[in-house]
Each structure stands twice: as C-alpha cells, then as structure tokens.
C-alpha cells in the first residue's frame, strides 16, 4: 500500500517535471534554406564564328515546388551556325546563389545532360564534354543550326543514369531538371 | 450474463431424490481481480470427498446435498488452495472469489483481462498468442490483415499500415499495453512502431465504441496487450527463431520472466529481425531490406487489491524503400509505369540505402491501480513516448547520402486516471480523465524544408461509459467523451503558396516574420470534439448474439492534413494541407449477428459509416517546376459514406478437420462529388482447410486460399505529361487498379516435448506457393513492381 502511494507520488512528480521542463522554450525555429533545390538553369550559346550574338535560354523557378511556374526565357538562333554551349545550374534560394554546376561536374559519372528537339526544330547538339570514364556529361557542348525552323528544345539533367546510353529512352535514372524552351532558327 | 442462464437451467432441471438431501449448492468461481470467470477450479467437500469442477463458464454444482454446514476446499491449477464453510439449508447459490494468481494474472498491464471485453456492445475480434507465433518475423499490419474487415495500406512489404473498414492512418487508434501509440501515425507510409513479439494478444474493435481509449477512432481501435504473468514462484522463458527464403533473413526473439508468489514480477524481452532485398517472382526488389530491433522490460507488483507496474520498450526499424520508386517528375513516372518491371533491379544485398526510413520509438509507462471496496478500481497511469522518424531520400550529391531529408521527433506525455466500478452484475460505470502534451520538433539541419512544422499540442479528454443489464439477455451500453485539442505551431510557408492560397488575406495576423521567399507563421488552432456510443447486446440463447452499436467519432485534423506543403518523393507528387479544416465527424452504425457452436459458427457484420467533413487528398492540377511536371494532391473536406459487410464462418467436419471462411467488402463514396473514394480495399475472401490432431504431436496443417477481386470502383486521377524525347503528351495512369489475384499458402506446425518444462514448436510455412505475379491495389509502390513471390519459412519456438 505504501509502495503504491509512493509510486503514484513519483509518477505525479515525474509528470510535473516533464511538463514544466518541456514547455519553456518558445524560441522561433530557424528557417531552412533549401539545399536540394535547383531553381535556375541557364544555357548560354556563343557563336564560334563571326560576330553573331550570344543566345541565353533560361528556366527560373524561384519557389521550387511552389505554385509559381518557372519563368522561361526562349531564344532565337541564327541559321547554319555553330554555337558553343554551356549550362549553369543555380540554387537562388540561398544567398549568395549556390552554383550547382560545380557539384554536378565533381560527380560527373553520376550525371548526364540530354538535349532533345521537337516540332521540326533543325538543331543538333554534339561534342559534349565527358566524365572521368569517357562517357558523356554534357555541361559543355556544341549546337549546330540548320535551315530556318522552330520547335521545342528540352534540356534534361538525369541523376544516376545508365552510362553509356543512346539517349533519354534507355538512360534510366531520375530527372533532376527538365526544362523545355521554344526556339526559333532564322 | 450467460452464466446466469446456465444456472437457471441447472436449477430448474434438478430432480428431487431425497426429501432431506436434495439440495444443490451452485455458483460460479470468479477471479477476484477482474471479475472474470475461472474454469477448471476443483471443489471438494471435506468428509464426503465429493468433487466437482467448474465448467468453461466458471459454474460449479453440487447436487443431492443434505442440510448442514460443509467445508469446501477450492483449488485451481497453480493456485493457492482455499477453504470455505458453507451452510446449506435450501438450494443455495454461492459465488467464490479466488485470487487467481495461478494461471495468468495481469491486472496491472491490462485494464481488461483476456476473458473480458473492451466494450460490451461492439463485436470484437481477437488474435491470441498462439496465432501470433506464426508472425514472429512479420509486422503488426500483417497480423491484423488476417482478420475480416482489416486490410493494409502498404509501402512495399515492410511498411504495412492497417486499414479498418476502409479507413486508415489517424482514423485508427493503436493501444499498446494501455498506452495510445503516438508514432506519427498520420503518414500513409508510417507503419505502427510495435514489435509483434512484445504482444500477448490483440483485440480489434471496428468502431469508436471504446471511448475509454479515444474519441477519434473513426475506423477502429487495435488493442494489444502483453502476456499475463502468473503470481507464483517461477521462472520461464521462450525463444523464437525464424528463417525465411524470401528476403534471405530471419528473426530471433527471446523472453524471460521471473515471478514470485508475493506478487513481484519482472520480464525482459528482446528481438532482432534482419532481411535483405525481398524478391518478386521474376526479379529482386532492390533496396527493400529491413532491420528491426526491439527491447522491452517490465517490473511490477501485483497484489490482491493493488498493483504497480513500470514498463519500458525500445523499438527501432530501418526499412529500405524500393529504389525504383524514387523518381523525378511526371516523365519519369510514365517511364516507370510503362516499363512493367522496376527501372532499377540490382543484385540481392542486405544493404539498406536511400530511400529508406529509420524509426526509433521509446515508450515508458508507469501504472498503478487500487481496488476500493465500494467504489471500484482506480487506475493512474503516466506514459512518455518519443518517436523519431528519419527519412532518407536519394540526394543530388552522394556526399549527402547519410543525411536525412526528414527528421521529426515527437515527444508525448500522457497522464490518465480511470475509474472502473465493475463491481455489480447489473450496472457498470467506467469513467476517467486524461491529459496529454506533445511537442514535435523538425530538425532544420536536413537542408530540406520541414514537411511537418514544429508544434505543441495539448489534449484534455473526459469520458464516461455505462452499461446496464436490462435482463439476462439484454444489455445496453451508453457512453460519451469530450476532447479538447490545442495546437500551437511554428510553420514556415513559401510566400508564393501563402498568397496563392489567399492566406495573406485570411490569416495576416499569424505572420511572425517575413524572410526572403518564405514566411514564419504561428497558427494556433483549437478543436472541441464530442464523441458518443450507444449500443445493445441481445442473447437469443446460448448460441446466438446480436450486437448493435451506434458510435459518433470526432477527429481533429492531423499535422499532415493541416500543414503539408511540398514535394513527396515516394509518391512523386506535391501534397498540400489546409489550415482551415475543422474536425471530421463520423456516425457509424454496426450490427453483428454471431453464432457460436462446436460444429458451425459464424458472424455477419454489416455497417455503414457516414463521415462529415471527411478529409481526403486528391489530385487537383499539374504543376510545372524546373524538375518537370508534378501532380498536385490537395487535401479537402467532403461528406463521405462507407458501407460494407464482414463475414466469418467456420465448420467442423470431424475431430480433425475444419473449414473457415472470411469475406470482406467495403464501398466508399464521396457524396459531394458523387465519385468513389480512392484506396478502398477491394472485395476479398480467405478460405482455409485445417487439419489438427492433438494425439499426433499436436500437428496442425492449414491450406489457405486468398482471393482478392479487382477494385472496380475508383476515381479517375489520370493526367497527361509531356515527354521530351518523343515530344508528345502521354497519359499517366495512376488510377487503374491491378487485376484480381489468387494466392495459396500452406502453414503447418507441431509440438515436441523436450523435457519436463520445455517444449519445441516447429512450424513450416509456404506463402504464395505458386509464385504468382500480382500487384496489390493498396500497395503504394504497385506502379513500380510486383508484390512478393514465394516464401518458405521455418519457425522454431522453444518454451522453457
């Protein structure tokens, strides 16, 4: 009986302690800076010959998976021209913006970029840079335009693809980025 | 109640043989601790050496007694024998209360004993320790799946969440050893954090009727109880070893119990389960291994009219999630669904990599009770739980693989005081009060926005349930409960979402601080919920019983329904909660007709559940992100109706052979939109043939057939996704349920005596004998892979 009373008292005492011990911090939590997010993809195309203008294609989605759609900057390329291309990925939710291209290039065997055209766009993408194993990485490349045309140009970054592969269809892996631009060749 | 019936019958059929010596002495033997009846007590009249034994209902009868005073010795296996003197001068009824230490006594951990019901007017289903033995290496969800009306929502095969009568997650309450599990059960891929090896028996209540435990069990309540410990000087234990071919793993669990005749006892238990990748009939399900550890200990004293127990349990489970289920946007989803086989199939391994879950649950409880003579039993209990959930996603950088993407710690403290005036046969009252404080902490070090915010929640509940026996055949139960909830959260919203939802106009006052692209808010939410139950039980004769129950359950929205806001990788969808939700209220009517019998028995249980403001999640739009397109799933409230029927039946052909049948059907409708509800269990039926021979090493062989129909009623949530490589839009079929399937299983076991006090039980089981390829509509990973193939398992249990 005595033991019973003691244990009840103990239980009450413990509860009291725990309750008071837990409810004393009202500190506001720290915001989380999203580290996994890529907000911005920029493709810069510089003509190899002559004084043509540099073309920039950009997809920028500052709220990540939030309701705002990505802001797309489309571009116009000159016909029958070769461009050297580079891709830059940024996480602009952090200040200063984090350059994720570096990370992709460091783990080059785990990533690959794919460039696909649609709707009769007369553009070929080749001469990709390679990873440590001699397979395509694709953060730098050449774009060669043919006759005047227009259509979609999609840039896809796959994580952990099967390498080597013949294209998106058998690459597997997961899509980290998929941005579609409307491109005109004239 | 039935016992009285027996007594009446017995008394009325008594034939007078001798004028002076035709009296009977009868009554029942009752467990003093909990009022349950004790079969098998031996009563001997000193001098006459007449001996009778109490029957299954605890009833004993001495007939042909003469007038006089008799000395009667009452003994019961394992018990201290008791002597009493009884004066007989007419037909006499005397009930004897025995301190039932002997066999299994555990009034401390159990509010209700194994013989007693949790409610009186709800039909309850039970799973005994013996049935549990077969599931030593399985999960709680797998065990419950064997009951009619219960199915499971699976994520792969290691995350098994029970569905009762069509609903799951927060709508199901799990009472583990008298403690309501607070293990973040709101998540559809969060399995209960309980090791089945710590469970002595399970009771399932399909409804909210057990108001003592909670008022928000819209679906039902699962009550698990620890094994009883005898009050005698003894030490015993059991060790259970299993091995299985599928997953190439097994489990080992051991329990050791020591008890004393003075009431003190202690018990320790530990389990280890380890499985590698499981296999479908045609391929390895890569990254589906799991590693579960558990440890529990209890110590206490169990005396005549009081007792105290302290209990601690630790549970840790690391579960791999099918690698092929972690995908990017809609175009990945199209590839994964159209592929027919998982996109990633690797060689078998025991390694568990991302994506995976790592859940740790600590439970500490201290409980004391005292029986007061004119009041009843008063119980005071405090419990502390900590649930830490880590979820690891496939990260962009492999350097981050050991860093969780979700890290939530939920601490819960609950104190409850219960009074059970179960001291009369006519009228019982159970009442009590409970208070709970919870704090959830989301670790920001994950570098991923918090899925669930930091919050504190306070809950105060008061209940009362009374039952009254109108006649021997007819019992009425009525109860009510009031709960108050207060949630105080610190939630970060994306500014774009905040404005998109109009929260900037609706809740400007809760904004605490504005950051670059997000803002911190402090939602404070209150819910006052009423719940009630009204039921009757009518006994036609010894065999037929009719249960009728109406229950009103109210459930406050859970953190996921309120606060979700972001991409959910395992589902490849964006999930959005809603701050504006109010409690959902369910009205459930359930009727059960039960027939018990030695050759034929059945129960039929139709029910209907009207749920107002039912919170469901469903797709609303396709959202473009830089990662590709994702389907957006938003929670909304609607009025829903769920109706169904559960049937159990068994027939005994001979002493050795019996057949059982189970059938469950449930239909769910969204009344507001006039469509079917998603994730409703398809109609299924289980049939089995059991051969059992007690003379032949207690051999038991069971052939089980499990047939699951195709779910034909489902909402169409398909959408179109842009595929860059073909420059086309393709239909993403996320709605169409898989085909019907039929599985055959074989279970067998036998007992071998090893010595005076030790026994070996050997079990061999084969599940999915024909290695059938199938997909389960209720498996969230059904889009990506087939379900499990054949599994051969061996099960050795030694008791000592």
Assess A164–B contact: CB distance below 8 Å, yes or no: no
Assess B344–A contact: CB distance below 8 Å, yes or no: yes
Q: Find which of B457, B626, B727 to mutate to test the A interface (most A CBs within 10 Å of its CB).
A: B626
Instruction: List B residues 606-625 in contact with A (Cβ-Cβ < 8 A).
Output: 623-625
The answer to whether the CB of B143 falls within 8 A of the CB of B202 is yes
The answer to whether the CB of B204 falls within 8 A of the CB of B222 is yes
A38: nearest CA partner in chain B? B626
| CB–CB contact B627 A93 (8 Å) | no
Give the whole-number percent of chain A exceeding pLDDT 90. Answer: 53
Nearest Cβ partner of B630 from A65, A159, A174?
A: A65
Assess A169–B contact: CB distance below 8 Å, yes or no: yes
Assess B263–A contact: CB distance below 8 Å, yes or no: no
B382: nearest CA partner in chain A? A11
| CB–CB contact B626 A38 (8 Å) | yes
Residues of B with CB below 8 A from A36's CB?
Answer: 393, 395-396, 405, 447-448
Position A10 pLDDT exceeds 80: no
What does the mean pLDDT of chain A come to?
A: 84
Strand stretches in B626-683, DSSP E: 628-652, 657-670, 675-676
- B316-326 pLDDT, tens per residue? 999 999 998 88
Closest approach of A133 to chain B, Cα-based (Å): 18
Q: Please report, to the nearest 10 degrees, the dihedral formed by the alpha carbons of residues A69, A73, A74, A75 taken in order.
A: -170
Cβ pairs bridging A and B (under 8 Å): 178
| CB–CB contact B413 A154 (8 Å) | no
Closest approach of A36 to chain B, Cα-based (Å): 7
Task: For residue B100, name the pLDDT band (cuts at 50, 70, 90).
Answer: low
Task: For residue B132, name the pLDDT band (cuts at 50, 70, 90).
Answer: confident
- B209-245 pLDDT, tens per residue? 789 899 999 988 999 988 888 888 889 999 999 999 9
Position B105 pLDDT exceeds 50: no
Closest approach of A169 to chain B, Cα-based (Å): 7
How many residues are recorded in chain B? Answer: 800
pLDDT number for residue B282: 96
Give the C-alpha separation, B246 to B771, whole Å: 11
Instruction: List B residues 625-684 in contact with A (Cβ-Cβ < 8 A).
Output: 625-628, 630
- B171-186 pLDDT, tens per residue? 999 999 899 999 999 8
Q: What share of chain B is helix, strand, coil (3-state, %, to 5)?
A: 10, 55, 35
| CB–CB contact B727 A33 (8 Å) | no
The answer to whether the CB of B164 falls within 8 A of the CB of B150 is yes
What domains are there in chain B, each with its CATH number? 2-98 (2.60.40.1120), 224-799 (2.40.170.20)
Q: Averaged over B364-386, what is the pLDDT?
A: 92
| CB–CB contact A32 B444 (8 Å) | yes
Closest approach of B676 to chain A, Cα-based (Å): 28
pLDDT number for residue B423: 56
- B761-791 pLDDT, tens per residue? 999 999 999 999 999 999 989 999 999 999 9
pLDDT number for residue B9: 35
Instruction: List A residues 66-125 in contact with B (Cβ-Cβ < 8 A).
Output: 66-70, 93, 95, 100, 103, 107, 110, 114, 116-119
Residues of B with CB below 8 A from A177's CB?
Answer: 626-628
Give the C-alpha separation, B200 to B255, whole Å: 12
Assess A8–B contact: CB distance below 8 Å, yes or no: yes
How many residues are recorded in chain A? Answer: 186
Q: What is the pTM of this model?
A: 0.84
- Architecture per CATH, domain A40-185, reads as Sandwich (2.60)
Position B101 pLDDT exceeds 60: no
Higher pLDDT, B207 or B576: B576
Give the C-alpha separation, B615 to B167, whole Å: 11
Domain segments of chain A as ranges? 40-185
Task: For residue B354, name the pLDDT band (cuts at 50, 70, 90).
Answer: confident
The answer to whether the CB of B493 falls within 8 A of the CB of B519 is yes
Buried b or exposed e, range B501-536, using 16+ CB within 10 angstroms = bebeeebeebeeeeeebbbbbbbebebebebbbbbb
B329: nearest CA partner in chain A? A175
Tokens 């998540």 label which residue?
B187
Cα four-point dihedral sign B194, B196, B198, B201: positive
Higher pLDDT, A18 or B368: B368
Residues of B with CB below 8 A from A34's CB?
Answer: 447-449
How do beta strands B628-652 and B573-576 pair? Answer: parallel
Residues of B with CB below 8 A from A167's CB?
Answer: 725
Position B103 pLDDT exceeds 70: no
User: Count of CB atoms within 10 A of residue B328's CB?
Assistant: 26
With H, G, I as helix, E, B as strand and everything else as coil, classify residue B739. Answer: coil
pLDDT number for residue A41: 94
pLDDT number for residue A20: 45
Closest approach of B151 to chain A, Cα-based (Å): 32
- B64-92 pLDDT, tens per residue? 888 888 888 887 765 567 777 788 878 87
Q: Find which of B329, B396, B488, B722 to mutate to test the A interface (most A CBs within 10 Å of its CB).
A: B396
The answer to whether the CB of B633 falls within 8 A of the CB of B573 is yes
Position A63 pLDDT exceeds 70: yes
Task: For residue B190, name the pLDDT band (cuts at 50, 70, 90).
Answer: very high
Q: Averaged over B667-693, what is the pLDDT?
A: 93
Give the C-alpha separation, A67 to B499, whole Å: 10
Give the whole-number percent of chain B exceeding pLDDT 70. Answer: 92
Assess B327–A contact: CB distance below 8 Å, yes or no: yes
pLDDT number for residue B448: 86
Residue ranges of alpha helices (H) inside chain A are 2-22, 100-106
Q: Please report, to the nearest 10 degrees, the dihedral formed by the alpha carbons of residues B509, B512, B515, B519 taken in order.
A: -60
- B392-435 pLDDT, tens per residue? 988 877 777 788 988 999 999 999 999 988 656 567 888 999 99
Position A151 pLDDT exceeds 80: yes
| CB–CB contact B447 A68 (8 Å) | no
Question: Which helix (H) or strand (E) covers residue A42, if one does?
Answer: strand A40-47
Report whether the peptide linkage leading into residue B100 is cis, meaning its omega lies within 30 degrees of zero.
no
CA nearest neighbour of B9 among B26, B21, B22, B23: B26
B307: nearest CA partner in chain A? A4
pLDDT number for residue B8: 36
Higher pLDDT, B128 or B562: B562
Give the C-alpha separation, A84 to A43, whole Å: 10
The answer to whether the CB of B69 falls within 8 A of the CB of B131 is no
Residues of A with CB below 8 A from B409's CB?
Answer: none
Give the C-alpha separation, B773 to B788, whole Å: 8
Nearest Cβ partner of A36 from B411, B448, B727?
A: B448
A89: nearest CA partner in chain B? B626
Q: What share of chain A is helix, strand, coil (3-state, %, to 5)?
A: 20, 40, 40
């Amino acid at each position: 009986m005595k033991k019973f009373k003691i244990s009840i008292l103990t239980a009450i005492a413990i509860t009291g302690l725990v309750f008071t011990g837990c409810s004393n911090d009202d500190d506001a939590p720290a915001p989380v800076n999203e580290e996994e997010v890529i907000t911005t993809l920029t493709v810069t195309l510089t003509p190899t010959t002559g004084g043509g203008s540099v073309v920039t294609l950009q997809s920028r989605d500052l709220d990540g998976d939030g309701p705002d759609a990505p802001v797309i900057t489309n571009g116009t390329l000159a016909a029958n021209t070769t461009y050297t291309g580079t891709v830059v990925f940024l996480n602009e939710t952090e200040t200063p913006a984090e350059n994720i291209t570096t990370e992709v290039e460091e783990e080059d065997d785990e990533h690959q970029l794919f460039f696909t055209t649609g709707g009769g766009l007369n553009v070929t993408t080749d001469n990709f840079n390679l990873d440590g194993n001699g397979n395509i990485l694709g953060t730098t490349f050449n774009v060669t335009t043919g006759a005047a045309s227009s259509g979609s140009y999609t840039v896809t970054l796959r994580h952990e693809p099967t390498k080597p592969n013949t294209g998106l269809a058998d690459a597997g892996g997961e899509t980290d980025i998929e941005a579609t631009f409307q491109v005109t060749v004239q | 109640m039935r016992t009285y019936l027996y007594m009446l019958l017995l008394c009325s059929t008594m034939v007078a043989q001798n004028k002076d010596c035709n009296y009977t002495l009868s009554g029942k033997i009752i467990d003093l601790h909990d009022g349950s009846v004790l079969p098998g007590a031996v009563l001997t009249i000193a001098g006459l050496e007449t001996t009778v034994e109490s029957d299954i209902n605890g009833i004993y009868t001495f007939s042909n007694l003469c007038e006089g005073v008799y000395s009667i010795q009452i003994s019961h296996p394992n018990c201290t024998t008791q002597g009493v003197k009884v004066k007989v001068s007419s037909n006499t009824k005397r009930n004897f209360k025995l301190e039932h230490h002997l066999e299994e006594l555990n009034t401390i951990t159990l509010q209700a004993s194994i013989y007693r019901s949790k409610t009186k007017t709800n039909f309850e289903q039970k799973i005994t320790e013996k049935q549990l033995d077969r599931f030593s290496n399985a999960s709680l969800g797998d065990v419950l799946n064997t009951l009619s009306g219960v199915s499971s929502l699976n994520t792969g095969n290691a995350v098994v969440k029970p569905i009762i009568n069509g609903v799951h997650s927060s709508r199901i309450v799990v009472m583990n050893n008298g403690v309501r599990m607070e293990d973040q059960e709101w998540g559809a891929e969060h399995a209960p954090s309980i090791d089945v090896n710590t469970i002595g028996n399970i009771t399932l209540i399909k409804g909210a009727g057990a108001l003592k435990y909670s008022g928000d069990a819209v679906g039902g309540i699962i009550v698990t109880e620890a094994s009883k410990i005898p009050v005698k000087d003894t030490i015993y234990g059991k060790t259970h070893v299993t091995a299985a071919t599928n997953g190439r793993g097994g489990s080992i669990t051991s329990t050791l119990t020591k008890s004393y005749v003075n009431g003190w006892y202690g018990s320790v238990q530990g389990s280890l389960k380890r499985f590698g990748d499981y296999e479908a009939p045609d391929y390895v399900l890569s990254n589906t291994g799991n590693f579960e550890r558990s440890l529990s200990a209890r110590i206490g004293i169990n005396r005549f009219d009081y007792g105290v127990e302290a209990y601690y349990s630790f549970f840790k489970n690391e579960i791999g999630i099918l690698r092929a289920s972690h995908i990017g946007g809609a175009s990945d989803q199209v590839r994964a669904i159209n592929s027919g086989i998982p996109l990633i199939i690797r060689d078998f391994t025991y390694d568990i990599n991302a994506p995976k879950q790592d859940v740790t649950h600590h439970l500490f409880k201290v409980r004391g009770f005292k029986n007061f003579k004119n009041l009843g039993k008063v119980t005071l209990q405090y419990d502390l739980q900590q649930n830490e959930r880590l979820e690891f996603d496939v990260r962009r950088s492999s350097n981050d693989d050991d860093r969780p993407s979700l890290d939530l710690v939920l601490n819960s403290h609950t104190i409850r005081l219960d009074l059970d005036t179960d001291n009369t046969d006519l009228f019982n009252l159970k009442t009590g009060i409970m208070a709970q404080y919870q704090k959830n902490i989301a670790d920001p070090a994950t570098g991923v926005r918090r899925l669930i915010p930091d919050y504190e929640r306070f809950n105060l509940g008061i209940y009362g349930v009374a039952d009254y026996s109108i006649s021997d055949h007819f019992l009425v139960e009525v109860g009510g409960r009031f709960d108050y909830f207060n949630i105080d959260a610190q939630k970060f919203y994306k500014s774009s979402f905040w404005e998109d939802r109009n929260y900037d106009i609706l809740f400007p006052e809760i904004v605490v601080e504005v950051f670059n692209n997000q803002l911190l808010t402090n939602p404070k939410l209150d819910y006052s919920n009423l719940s009630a139950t009204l039921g009757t039980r009518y006994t036609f004769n010894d065999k037929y019983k009719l249960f009728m129950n109406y229950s009103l359950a109210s459930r406050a929205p859970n953190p996921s329904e309120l606060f979700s806001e972001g991409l959910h990788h395992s589902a490849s969808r964006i999930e959005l909660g809603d701050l504006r939700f109010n409690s959902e209220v369910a009205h459930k009517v359930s009727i059960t007709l039960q027939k018990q019998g030695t050759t034929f028995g059945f129960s039929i249980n139709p029910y209907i559940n009207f749920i107002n403001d039912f919170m469901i999640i469903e797709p609303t739009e396709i959202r473009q992100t830089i990662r590709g397109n994702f389907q957006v799933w938003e929670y909304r409230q609607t009025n829903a109706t769920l109706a169904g029927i559960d049937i159990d039946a068994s027939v005994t052909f001979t002493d050795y052979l019996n057949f059982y049948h189970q059938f469950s059907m449930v239909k769910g409708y969204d009344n507001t939109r006039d469509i079917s509800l998603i994730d409703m269990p398809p109609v299924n039926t289980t049939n089995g043939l059991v051969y059992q021979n007690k003379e032949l090493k207690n051999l038991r062989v069971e052939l089980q057939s499990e047939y699951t129909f195709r779910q034909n009623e489902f909402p169409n949530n398909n959408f179109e996704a842009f595929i860059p490589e073909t420059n086309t839009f393709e239909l993403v079929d996320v709605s169409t349920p898989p085909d019907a399937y039929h599985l055959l299983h074989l279970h067998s076991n036998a007992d071998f005596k090893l010595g005076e006090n030790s026994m070996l039980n050997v079990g061999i089981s084969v599940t999915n004998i024909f290695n059938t390829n199938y997909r389960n509509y209720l498996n969230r990973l059904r889009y990506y892979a087939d379900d499990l193939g054949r599994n051969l398992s061996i099960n050795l249990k030694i008791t000592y």
